[in-house]
Amino acid sequence: MHSASRTSSLLFLLLMLGACAGTDPYGHGREYVAADGEDSYLEKAHDVSYEDVRRDPLSFKTQLIGWFGSVTAIDKDKDGAVKVALDLRFHQPRHLCSDQFESSCHVTISERAGGPFTTTLKLKPRDAQGEDKLNVGSLVKIYGTPSGEFDDRGGPIIDTQWYRQWPHGAFVTTSGHVTMLR
């Protein structure tokens, strides 16, 4: 009986650890950690260059792309969605960390922008209000397809199917290499 009780306790602990693993919306880890619901998009996304999409967006209209962007402007739409202007940022496969523990690692993007693009998002409740809401300076990863149109900055407009957001301070740029570990 004692063995069954210990097995039950161990099973409960493992279930709790598994449940906690999905609660980190910012994916602290040395490498990119997909959010709940992101796996299928991550697997299907094509690695398409910004310049190729900008030159000929219609050629990529059927390909799912996954881009990171820093928010430069937000305009509320009539139907509750928000139009978001972004500057493309390149994800660094090896994240920067404050110490030797993975919990200190942050998604790391290029310091320099790669070009403008725009999308419209239907915000998730946690991104619509509060301290960690979507703001200018937030980082967003979008999965979507080029619409074939361009924004007022000359960047492609992306029809987003799924997104993920990091508020300012929940990610770092490559400039952090001066004070952080690789």
pLDDT at 16: 38
Residue 88 pLDDT more than 50?
Answer: yes
Return phi, psi of residue 156, to 5°: -70, 150
Return phi, psi of residue 30, to 5°: -70, -25
pLDDT at 178: 64
Averaged confidence pLDDT in the chain? 87
Using an 8 Å Cβ cutoff, are 115 and 54 in contact?
yes
Minimum mean pLDDT range among 15-19, 63-67, 108-112, 159-163? 15-19
pTM value is: 0.84
Q: What are the structural domains of the chain? A: 27-178 (2.40.50.140)
